């Protein structure tokens, strides 16, 4: 800057234009194109901003104009609500500035000033996840993803002051297993020296599990088909610790009458009876290269793999065997004497059958 410019600036600063009016902000000379660049820079003409972002609950002079100088911290308007945007007519802003002796503002032909109140938002889904994580693996509860939460008040996105940049910190957690009630509180910190914001949430938490549910009533000894069941999320207390999987339930037999909508438990099911008492069955004897069959009558009822007693209708002797299919019993020799006896029974039956034919 030249000596001439410095002298002119010093003279201007000493003039009434730059003088303070009591505690008010200094006045500013209007932009004068005739002044050289050095003097205009020294004056630093206030320039209106078209868009403003604030974090406080008030809008200050320094928010709406550049080069506000000592007047920057003077509040002139209340800020919009957190996370919202409002607008101010340029004429109203200029009037507010003049009330504080800030004049000569370059408006740049702006018709209005748009003001946005910055905020931090906590989505409802994030809050729900935080509450679930606070309760998981406590008080007998399982993973957070299996907890169904219902809140006393509709859970909405929380809007906080933008200065609240801290993490969501758990400060207290309560749960009553008898009523499923929870009470969880968090805190979010901000700038040093400020009090943290506390958020409290109450409601009910129920642990859910995957369960196999009947779609129709099932009678005793009915075999369950794929079309009879569906997989649903149900409270764990309803399903219990004995819930039957869908793949396990299909093809099983009901031990007792079951109603539609009921959760299937392993205790409700048994392997289907492939052999019924007094039912005609096929006796099979197979060992080494020998394979013989005969007709018999079941003395017992049995599922696949059960040991049952069967009457050989040809020899009139009773033998034991393993249920290996529907109306099918396989005689498995376990000792030489049993082998000979079983082979004799089946061979006699086979010979008698051949003669009759």
d(CA 258, CA 200) in angstroms, rounded, equals: 44
Cα distance between residue 145 and residue 137, in whole Å: 11
- Burial (Cβ within 10 Å: 0-12, 13-18, ≥19) of residue 298: buried
**Are 192 and 177 part of one and the same domain?**
yes
241 contacts 267 by C-beta, under 8 angstroms: no
CATH number at residue 229: 3.90.1210.10
From the list 115, 249, 282, 124, the residue with the least C-alpha distance to 199 is 124
| pLDDT tens digits, one per residue of 94-151 | 999 999 999 999 999 999 999 999 999 999 999 999 999 999 999 999 999 999 999 9
Looking at the fold, whether 165 and 260 belong to one and the same domain comes out as no
What's the confidence (pLDDT) of residue 271?
Answer: 87
Please report the pLDDT score of residue 345 as a whole number: 54
> Which residues lie below 8 Å from residue 22, measured CB to CB, with a gap of 6+?
none
Same domain, 105 and 23: yes
Q: What is the pTM of this model?
A: 0.61
CATH of the domain at 308: 2.30.30.760
Distance, in Å, from the CA atom of 136 to the CA atom of 255, rounded to the nearest integer, reads 36
Q: Are both 35 and 103 inside the same structural domain?
A: yes
- pLDDT at res. 103: 92
Q: Could you say which of 86, 117, 148 is where a domain stops?
A: 117
Residue finishing a domain among 223, 248, 270 = 270
Same domain? For 199 and 214 the reply is: no
Residue length of the chain: 357
Q: Are strands 47-48 and 51-54 parallel, antiparallel or unpaired?
A: unpaired
Judgement on whether residues 164 and 90 belong to the same structural domain of the protein: no
One domain, residues 301 and 351: yes
Specify the 3-state DSSP secondary structure of 244. coil
Query: Do 15 and 101 belong together in one domain?
Result: yes
Neighbouring C-beta atoms of residue 52, cutoff 10 Å: 23
3-state secondary structure of 139: coil
Output the pLDDT for position 22: 30
pLDDT at 241 (0 to 100): 85
The answer on 188 and 222 residing in a single domain is: no
Please tell me the predicted confidence (pLDDT) of residue 7.
29
The helix (run of H) or strand (run of E) holding residue 183 is strand 181-188
Task: Give me the pLDDT at residue 344, please.
Answer: 54
Q: How many folded domains does the chain comprise?
A: 4
Q: What is the pLDDT along the chain (357 residues), one digit of tens a residue?
A: 333 333 233 333 333 322 222 333 344 444 555 545 545 554 579 999 999 999 989 999 999 999 999 999 999 999 999 999 999 999 999 999 999 999 999 999 999 999 999 999 999 999 999 999 999 999 999 999 999 999 999 999 999 998 888 899 999 999 999 999 999 999 999 888 788 999 999 999 999 999 999 999 999 988 899 999 999 999 998 888 888 999 999 989 999 999 999 999 999 998 888 888 888 999 998 877 788 888 999 998 888 888 999 999 888 898 999 988 888 999 876 544 444 455 555 555 444 443 333
Burial of 72 (0-12, 13-18, 19+ CB in 10 A): middle
Residues 347 and 316 in one domain: yes
Asked which of 208, 242, 258 is the last residue of a domain, the reply is: 208
Contact 101, 27 (CB under 8 A): yes
Residues 213 and 198 in one domain: no
Residues 238 and 302 in one domain: no
Q: Tell me the three state secondary structure of residue 8.
A: helix
Quote the domain boundaries for residue 309: 273-356
Spell out the residues 6+ positions from residue 168 whose beta carbon is closer than 8 angstroms to its own: 122, 126, 127, 130, 186, 188, 199
Which among 161, 216, 217 is positioned nearest to 190, based on CA atoms?
161
> Rounded to an integer, what distance in angstroms lies between the CA atom of residue 120 and that of residue 55?
10
- Residue 162 sits at the vertex; the CA angle it makes with 79 and 56, to the nearest 5 degrees, is 30
């Amino acid at each position: 800057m030249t000596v001439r410019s410095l002298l002119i600036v010093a003279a201007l600063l000493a003039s009434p234009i730059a003088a303070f009016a009591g505690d008010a902000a200094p006045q500013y000379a209007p932009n004068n194109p005739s002044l050289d660049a050095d003097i205009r820079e020294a004056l630093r003409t206030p320039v209106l901003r078209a868009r403003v972002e604030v974090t406080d609950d008030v809008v200050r002079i320094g928010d709406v104009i550049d080069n506000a100088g000592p007047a920057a911290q003077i509040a002139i308007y209340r800020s919009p609500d957190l996370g919202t945007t409002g607008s101010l007519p340029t004429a109203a802003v200029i009037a507010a500035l003049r009330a504080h002796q800030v004049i000569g503002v370059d408006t740049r032909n702006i018709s209005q000033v748009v003001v946005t109140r910055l905020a931090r938002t906590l989505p409802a889904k994030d809050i729900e996840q935080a509450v679930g994580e606070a309760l998981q693996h406590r008080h007998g509860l399982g993973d957070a993803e299996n907890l169904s939460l219902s809140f006393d008040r509709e859970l909405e996105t929380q809007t906080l002051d933008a200065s609240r940049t801290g993490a969501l910190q758990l400060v207290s957690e309560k749960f009553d297993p008898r009523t499923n009630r929870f009470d969880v509180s968090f805190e979010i910190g901000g700038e040093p020296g400020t009090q943290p914001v506390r958020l409290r949430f109450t409601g009910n938490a129920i642990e859910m599990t995957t369960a196999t549910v009947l779609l129709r009533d099932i009678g005793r000894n009915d075999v369950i088909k794929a079309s009879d069941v569906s997989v649903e999320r149900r409270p764990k207390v309803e399903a219990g610790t004995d819930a039957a999987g869908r793949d396990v339930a299909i093809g099983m037999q009901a031990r007792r009458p079951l109603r539609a909508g009921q959760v299937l438990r392993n205790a409700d099911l048994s392997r289907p009876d492939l052999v019924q008492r007094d039912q005609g069955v096929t006796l099979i004897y197979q060992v080494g290269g020998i394979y013989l069959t005969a007709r018999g009558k079941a003395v017992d009822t049995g599922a696949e793999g059960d040991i049952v007693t069967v009457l050989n209708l040809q020899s009139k002797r009773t033998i034991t065997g393993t249920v290996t299919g529907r109306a099918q019993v396989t005689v498995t020799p376990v000792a030489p004497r049993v082998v000979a006896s079983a082979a004799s029974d089946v061979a006699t039956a086979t010979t008698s059958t051949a003669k009759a034919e």
